[in-house]
Structure formats: C-alpha cells, structure tokens
C-alpha cells in the first residue's frame, strides 16, 4: 500500500456504530436491563451475536432491525435464553438513541473544518437519521445498508461513497473501529484507512492501516486538525 498522502485527502468516511457511537455500551446497557438475560455471559453473547450477524448479512438482504434482533436471539439461545418480542423490540428501537463517545462531537467539528465528512453504515435509514441528529454535525453523505440493500464488508458502500463524493479513493480516508466490516475490505480496495482501536485489540499481521489511534481526538491530532 502506498504511503498516505494527507495533502490529497479531501474527505473522511466513517463507520458509525462502534466508531462514532458507543455500540458496546448501548448493547451492554440493554442486556443489563433485560430480564431474560439476567446473569448471561456477556462476552460470549456479544461474540456469538457478532458471528450470527455476519452470517445474516452475507445472505439475502433483510432490514438491519431484523438482523440485530435475530442475531441477538440466536446468540442468547446458545446460553438457553429466550428474549421476548417486547425485549427485542426495545433493543432495535433503542439503538437510535445510543450515545456517541464523549469526544465524538468535538472531534467531528474539528475534522469538518478541513475535510468533507460521510457515514457508511450497516443500518436502516431511520436509525441513522436519528443518530445523526444526536451527533449534531452535518455530513456530506449518509449511506445505509437499507439504501443499497447490501452490508459491509461487501464493497457496495465504498463504491457508492466514491460516486457520491465524486472523489478518487486516494482522496478519501476511511475511519472505523471494526476490522472485519471496514478496515479489511477498505484496505483490499486500496483505500486509505484509519483504525480507531477503541478495544485495545491486536492488529493482524496482514493488515496495515495508514493510521492507528485510540480515539477520535487522537485522530484529529494526527491529521493536524
């Protein structure tokens, strides 16, 4: 991969949930308030749910609210738990109100002074619209799985982003926490990437993001914003 040329970068594209919004915090809060999941092994539940989600997203398209509910229910059943329809409904409806990370808003304001901003998200239109209103920062493009009927790590989001922004891939930096959904596919396409390593994960030997930081404030500093 060629060295990142920041002088060429005109736009930043972001994954939203897990990168801008505290996905694990929101999901964990729902689990802790859900009677059917009392004393569940949370780490196992989250890992199983993530694997179930990838399988569902690789199949025929269905709305993300269904993907989220089905993947969680399947993961819970592996621990002999059965969330009710009401509990799962509270999960999918509540996601739109999950809070951003503490630094997200201020970092986006700083970044917007220099770059165009876009979101590439594996969610439904209404969920992302509600989240963007909480972020309270304008974006030049918002691209959802519902619009494209496709989920990352498929390449459709990335192709659509270049078309809407009318930029070449060398003029865009993709910012994300998820290696599987974002950093890996973007890297395969030859995009510039910034990995926000919020979970303190180890980087696989075959991945070399252009930038690795712990949060968005650090990203601003690295980009000189």
pLDDT in tens, 105-138: 999 999 999 999 999 999 999 999 999 999 999 9
Domain map (residue ranges) of the chain: 11-22+99-223, 23-97
Place of tokens 């992302």: 128
CATH architecture of 23-97: Orthogonal Bundle (1.10)
68-113 pLDDT per residue, tens: 999 999 999 999 999 999 999 999 999 999 999 999 999 999 999 9
Q: Per-residue pLDDT averaged across 215-222, rounded?
A: 97
Q: Output the pLDDT for position 134.
A: 97
Q: Output the pLDDT for position 2.
A: 59
Rounded to whole angstroms, the Cα distance separating 189 from 184 reads 9
Is residue 188 scored above 70 in pLDDT?
yes
Place of tokens 């926000």: 196
Is residue 48 scored above 90 in pLDDT?
yes
Rounded to whole angstroms, the Cα distance separating 36 from 82 reads 6
Max Cα distance, the chain (Å) = 54
Q: Output the pLDDT for position 3.
A: 76
**Structure letter (DSSP) for residue 194:** E
Beta strands in the chain (DSSP E): 11-14, 116-121, 141-144, 172-176, 192-196, 211-213
158-169 pLDDT per residue, tens: 999 999 999 999
Q: Per-residue pLDDT averaged across 176-187, rounded?
A: 97
CATH of 11-22+99-223, one of 2.60.40.1170, 1.10.3720.10, 3.40.50.1000, 3.40.50.2300: 3.40.50.1000
Q: Output the pLDDT for position 34.
A: 97
- Positions marked active-site: 15
Is residue 179 scored above 80 in pLDDT?
yes
Q: Per-residue pLDDT averaged across 194-219, rounded?
A: 96
Is residue 174 scored above 70 in pLDDT?
yes
pLDDT averaged over every residue in the chain: 96
Is residue 157 scored above 70 in pLDDT?
yes
Is residue 211 scored above 60 in pLDDT?
yes
This prediction's pTM: 0.95
The token pair that represents 14 in the structure block: 């972001």
Q: Per-residue pLDDT averaged across 4-26, rounded?
A: 96
Yes or no: say if 71 and 61 are a contact pair by the CB < 8 Å rule: no
């Amino acid at each position: 991969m060629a060295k990142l040329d920041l002088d060429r970068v005109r736009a930043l594209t972001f994954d939203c949930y897990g990168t801008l919004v505290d996905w694990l915090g929101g999901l964990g809060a729902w689990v802790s308030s859900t009677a059917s999941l009392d004393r569940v092994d949370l780490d196992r539940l989250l890992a199983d749910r993530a694997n179930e989600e990838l399988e569902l997203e690789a199949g025929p398209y269905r709305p993300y609210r269904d993907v989220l509910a089905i993947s969680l229910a399947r993961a819970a059943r592996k621990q002999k738990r059965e969330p009710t329809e009401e509990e799962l409904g509270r999960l999918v409806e509540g996601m739109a109100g999950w809070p951003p990370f503490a630094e997200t808003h201020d970092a986006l304001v700083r970044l917007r002074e220099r770059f165009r901003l876009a979101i590439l998200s594996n969610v439904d239109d209404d969920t992302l619209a509600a989240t963007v209103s909480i972020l309270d920062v304008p974006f030049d493009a918002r691209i959802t799985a519902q619009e494209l009927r496709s989920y990352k790590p498929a390449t459709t989001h990335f192709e659509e982003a270049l078309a809407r922004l009318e930029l070449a891939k060398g003029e865009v930096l993709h910012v994300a926490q998820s290696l599987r959904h974002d950093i890996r596919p973007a890297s395969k396409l030859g995009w510039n990437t910034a990995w926000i390593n919020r979970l303190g994960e180890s980087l696989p030997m075959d991945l070399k993001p252009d930038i690795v930081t712990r949060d968005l404030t650090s990203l601003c500093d690295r980009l000189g914003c």
